[in-house]
Structure 1
Amino acid sequence: MRRRAARPALPIVLLVVTGLLAACSDDSETPNLTVTASPSADQPTGSSSGSPTPESDSPQPPGATEVVGTIATGLAVPWGLAFLPNGDAIVTERDSQRVLRIHGPQHRVEVIATLDDAAPGGEGGLLGVAASPDFATDHELFFYVTTATDNRIAKASYDGGRLGPLEVILDGIPNGFIHDGGRLAFGPDGYLYASTGETGNDALAQDTDSLGGKILRITTDGDPAPGNPIDGSPIWSYGHRNVQGLAFDDRDRLWASEFGASTFDELNLIEPGDNYGWPTVEGRGGKAGLVDPQVVWDTDVASPSGLAWSDGYLWLASLRGRRLWRIDVVGKRATDPTDFFVGEYGRMRTVAVAPDGRLWVTTSNRDGRGSPADGDDRILVIRP
């Protein structure tokens, strides 16, 4: 096991956002205006209703966003979701410790490993998964795992059969009953980005000696990536409460969805070295040295989890909000949040873009906070 010693506090450059995009897409600077989302009424919405049908390619009205099928049912809190070059999907189950492969056009579900290192409890367990950008040659999968003592990032080889042994590449990330972070995503630069939570200890978010309440950027060996804002540290940004979603847009910009406390959940545009304000500010604070969110939601219509980018939009899955949000992105501005499937499928945990361009969305109704229906938890396929 690899243990990193605590590092001395080092100066960090605060990049203060002084201007954002105007209505056009030329990236001209205008005052930062945080958008407050306006939800639909808390009743079923969207193009589909009831239980999803088998996948269909029948014509749909232009602009329709619809659940067109079910990939898998009977899952136990599916948390992480990553696609392989051959189109297979790797899914982690938070509480069962199982790693699943969803294979072929029939979406056959196979257990490829049970990771006993994971210690499920509260919001922790077997969380995020990411496939190496060079998976075709190195066959490496990366996992975010809550253990009895910490959160850690590990990798293992997968050759299409069974998963190899875990190799811990970064440990010592604080763990807790709540706010364990856990999302993993490879950036266009080839480095691994990971979200961590402050475990309910607010002070960790502002402490650059701690890995809690941060977004990290590391190499595939677990070392701090070159160009990180704090020399010798994996920290990319800080002042986070509990980032649950990471997504890169078509300009290689990083977006993150984050749980608020009792007032506002957030969508943030992430820049290296920036301070996103927790616990000093929840939502927009307008304070020098702190970055305001692009979009905020009342916590009862969001509790944002997974985040994905597709064709000019961010798609955000909501837990307590029990809906899927679509957010327009024009230049450097996120705007016009619109919700779908309100209350139809319960808690939505993870959203990912499949190789065919459709969205896979996992439900999370068996996580102790939902009301499971027959077939839960499931993975839905959505035509965006």
Structure 2
Amino acid sequence: MDKKTRILAIVAAIAASILIVTSPSGSIVIPQPNTSTTTGSDAVQVIATHLQKPWAMAFGDGKIFFTEKIGKLRVVDNGILVNDSVADLHASDISDAGLLGVATHPNFAKNHWIYVYYTYKDGDKLWNKVLRITESNNKISDATVILDKIPGAEFDDGGVIKFGPDGKLYIGTGDATDENAAQDLTSLAGKILRLNDDGSIPNDNPYPNSPVYSSGHRNPQGLTWDSKGILYETEEGPTKNDELNVIQKGKNYGWPNQECTGSPGYQPALLCYNISVEPAGIAYYGSGPLDFKDSLLMTTLRGNILYQLHVSDGNMTSQKIILDGLGRIREVGVGPDGYAYVLTANTDGQGFPDKNDDKLLRIVK
């Protein structure tokens, strides 16, 4: 059985086992890829190849920035992958740890601020931090620590960071293998955090002088908002019970006392996958050239699938497969051009990389 057949067989087996427990972009257009370096089908174009453990991406000023877990912040400029990194960080690339999330400031075109989340080692202990990088001509020109001493570990580091429609920075942190930390409001682990762009705490956070926005999370992987400002989060379970959650201010999502649903006093998951698909990146597609209007696009690592989830007022109405056969899919984003972009993750030590992995792809049909 060849590699693609094996992957498709795994996809089919996992998809058959899924259980549903509970039922703005700017005017900047990312240039078309250079035809001399782009290959692919009519529906999926290959923008870049030979990436090393890519994790997250963000758009800004006509460019695509993405992280590689090994510590490199990379950029696609004018449709071409720049050979030199924007920044090389001393990240601890161990299992779930490394250079993870990336977000561009809502006013990136003027201030050129890029935010990254990464794991580092201090003595014999792992920590995570959020760093703000000032970019100039595709290189780092300055850096400021926004938040430090987020508990880190070999596994369950979270790492997703996104700016919300309110202009605040949201940070998904894992429990760093300490289950009790997710229920401890004095700990930064196992939370969704919310900060101003300079790292200060917003006055309207649910807990005074605390960056905590929601608690009881095991390992957040993706964040996105729909057109009504509803926040969705993907979260990996321990061995099963992966979650898609609607995040509400000050709410507790139960980990480790609850997985998905069933315990009074905790928020139930919107969706629960009772055999792990490892949901990762998620993005909201409002409108544009693709037939994904008012949908969530969700990647899966173990499931090897890009899903389209139809949502309405925080409720999911249907789910279908958009893309499979590419192996592990780590991240999805909607570009200012209205097309969907995905990062594969076959070089992360758990996939079956081909000679061109990993890849940045664009879905155009």
TM-score w.r.t. structure 1 length?
0.80
Distance 1:288 1:364, change over 3 A: same
CA distance in 2, matches of 1:43, 1:264: 13
CA distance in 1, matches of 2:356, 2:201: 42
Partner of 2:73: 99
Deviation at 1:42, TM superposition (A): 4.1
**What SS does structure 1 have at the residue aligned with 2:166?**
coil
Partner of 1:54: 39
CA distance in 2, matches of 1:182, 1:228: 20
**What SS does structure 2 have at the residue aligned with 1:205?**
helix
Residue 353 of structure 1 aligns with an amino acid whose one-letter code is V
* Equivalent of residue 111 in structure 2, options 124, 138, 150: 138
Q: Is the 8 A contact 1:295 1:335 kept in 2?
A: no
Deviation at 1:117, TM superposition (A): 3.0
Q: Is the 8 A contact 2:214 2:250 kept in 1?
A: yes
Partner of 1:182: 159
* Equivalent of residue 357 in structure 1, options 338, 341, 347: 338
* Equivalent of residue 317 in structure 1, options 292, 296, 299: 299
CA distance in 2, matches of 1:112, 1:371: 25
Distance 1:229 1:321, change over 3 A: same
Distance 1:172 1:40, change over 3 A: closer
Partner of 1:14: none
Partner of 2:196: 219
Matched length = 323
CA distance in 2, matches of 1:271, 1:163: 35
Higher relative contact order (CA 8 A, sep 6+): 1
Listed as ranges, the gaps of 5+ residues in structure 1 are: 1-38, 45-52, 59-66
Q: Is the 8 A contact 1:98 1:111 kept in 2?
A: no
Q: Is the 8 A contact 1:260 1:299 kept in 2?
A: no
Equivalent residues in 2 for 1:117-136, closer than 5 Å? 117-136=90-109
Residue 299 of structure 1 aligns with an amino acid whose one-letter code is I
Deviation at 1:288, TM superposition (A): 2.4
Deviation at 1:308, TM superposition (A): 0.3
Q: Is the 8 A contact 2:205 2:212 kept in 1?
A: yes
Partner of 2:328: 347
CA distance in 2, matches of 1:114, 1:255: 30
Deviation at 1:43, TM superposition (A): 9.5
Equivalent residues in 2 for 1:171-250, closer than 5 Å? 171-250=148-227
Partner of 2:133: 156
TM-score w.r.t. structure 2 length?
0.84
Partner of 1:304: 279
1:258 pairs with 2:235: yes
**What SS does structure 2 have at the residue aligned with 1:150?**
strand
Output one character per residue of 1:263-307: Cα deviation in whole Å (capped at 9) or x when no partner: 31110000010000111111121x32210011111334x200001
CA distance in 2, matches of 1:152, 1:165: 16
1:112 pairs with 2:88: no
Q: Indicate the percent of aligned positions where both proteins have the same amino acid.
A: 37
**What SS does structure 2 have at the residue aligned with 1:137?**
helix
CA distance in 1, matches of 2:95, 2:304: 19
Deviation at 1:84, TM superposition (A): 0.6
* RMSD between superposed Cα atoms in Å: 1.9
Residue 314 of structure 2 aligns with an amino acid whose one-letter code is K
Moved more, 234-243 or 255-264: 255-264
1:41 pairs with 2:26: no
Residue 367 of structure 1 aligns with an amino acid whose one-letter code is D
Residue 91 of structure 1 aligns with an amino acid whose one-letter code is F
Equivalent residues in 2 for 1:265-276, closer than 5 Å? 265-276=242-253
Residue 274 of structure 2 aligns with an amino acid whose one-letter code is D
* Equivalent of residue 81 in structure 1, options 49, 57, 82: 57
CA distance in 2, matches of 1:161, 1:374: 27
Partner of 1:35: none
Q: Is the 8 A contact 1:93 1:126 kept in 2?
A: yes
Residue 88 of structure 1 aligns with an amino acid whose one-letter code is K
Output one character per residue of 1:28-62: Cα deviation in whole Å (capped at 9) or x when no partner: xxxxxxxxxxx972499xxxxxxxx8367x6xxxx
Listed as ranges, the gaps of 5+ residues in structure 2 are: 1-9, 16-37, 287-293
**What SS does structure 2 have at the residue aligned with 1:212?**
coil
Deviation at 1:103, TM superposition (A): 1.1
Residue 128 of structure 2 aligns with an amino acid whose one-letter code is N
Deviation at 1:109, TM superposition (A): 3.0
**What SS does structure 1 have at the residue aligned with 2:165?**
coil
**What SS does structure 2 have at the residue aligned with 1:143?**
strand
Deviation at 1:115, TM superposition (A): 2.7
Output one character per residue of 1:247-276: Cα deviation in whole Å (capped at 9) or x when no partner: 011011110000011231110000010000
